[in-house]
Amino acid sequence: MSSLEKVIELFKRFPGIGPRQAQRFVYFLLAMPPGFRKELAGAIASIGNDAKRCLECGRFFSGSKHTHCSICSDSARSAEQLLVVAKDIDLANVERSGLYSGRYFVLRGTIPVLSKEPNKYIATGALKKLVEARVEKGLREIILAFPANPDGEHTEREIRGLLSPITDKNNIIVSALGRGLSTGAELEYVDRDTIRGALQNRS
| CA distances (Å), origin 167, targets 123, 132, 162 | 18, 9, 10
β-strands 141-145, 173-176 pairing = parallel
> Per CB under 5 A, does 177 bind Zn ion?
no
Spatial distance between the Cα atoms of 34 and 203, rounded to a whole number of angstroms: 53
Please, which of residues 1-60 interact with Zn ion by CB under 5 A?
A: 54, 56-57
CA distances from 186 to 29, 50, 92, 108 (A): 30, 28, 13, 14
Contact region with Zn ion (CB under 5 A), list: 35-43, 61-69, 84-92, 130-138: 61-69
Chain mean position to CA 47: 18
Q: Binding Zn ion by CB under 5 A: which of 26, 72, 82, 123?
A: 72
Nearest residue (CB) to Zn ion, 72 versus 181: 72
Residue of the chain from 69, 83, 84, 122 that contacts Zn ion (CB under 5 A): 69
- Span from 15-23, 28-36, 67-75, 139-147 in contact with Zn ion (CB under 5 A): 67-75
Q: How far is the CB of 86 from Zn ion (least distance, A)?
A: 16
Residues that bind Zn ion (CB under 5 A): 54, 56-57, 69, 72
